Amino acid sequence: MNSVKAKYVSIALAASFLVAWAAPAMAAPPSGNINLLVGNRRMVDSGWKTNGTVEGYTLGIDFDFAKDDWPVALNVGLLGFRDSASKVTMNTNLNVTEVAVGARMYFGGRDFVRPYAGAGLEIMDVSMNVEQGPGSTDSKDRTTGYYLNAGAVLNFFGVLNVGLDARWIGGTKPGKDISSLDSYQASFVIGMSL
């Protein structure tokens, strides 16, 4: 695991442990969800069409936490996106690792169907390798942005979550060698209620 990914995993774990440590001290019992997201992301910047990298698969873990009297839940996510493309004389590999922190509002409380909407900020690390002709170019950068998401989960037996999540990522501005990472994403969600 490279140092950037290790750093994001450490941040996500530290946030999870902090929430777990603080939970017993709260008067109302906490509730939350931890879900795996598996989906597809499509870049909207036309600059990605030049090298053939426009869409790819995404994988992530998403955690939210709230007390019963909170109007919104705190939301933390760790996501990864990868795509490869080949054209006649060019091969491109794109890797994005991101941490998302924001708020999520559930509609309908702890019912069987749990629709939600959320928003927050993202920190994204991106690395791109382009092989063209006899040489190759490696580019790495970090950018921030925002996300808006909405979805719904079906909650079986008060524990198992299964659903869909849609996410828009905007406001990203990496360096001059890497196009904007603004994108939209659709994911299948499976996880559990805490």
Percentage of the chain beyond pLDDT 90 is: 37
Own/partner contacts of 12-20, CB < 8 Å, gap of 24 or more, are 12/61, 12/63, 12/76, 12/78, 12/99, 15/63, 15/76, 16/63, 16/76, 19/65, 19/74
- pTM summary value: 0.76
Q: Is the backbone of residue 106 left (phi > 0), alpha (psi -120 to 50) or beta?
A: beta
Which tens digit of pLDDT belongs to each residue from 76-104? 999 998 887 777 677 778 888 999 999 99
Architecture of domain 3-193 in this structure = Beta Barrel (2.40)
The mean pLDDT of the chain is 81
Q: How confident is residue 46, by pLDDT bands cut at 50, 70 and 90?
A: low
Across the range 160-179, mean pLDDT stands at: 85
- Check whether 23 has a pLDDT greater than 60: no
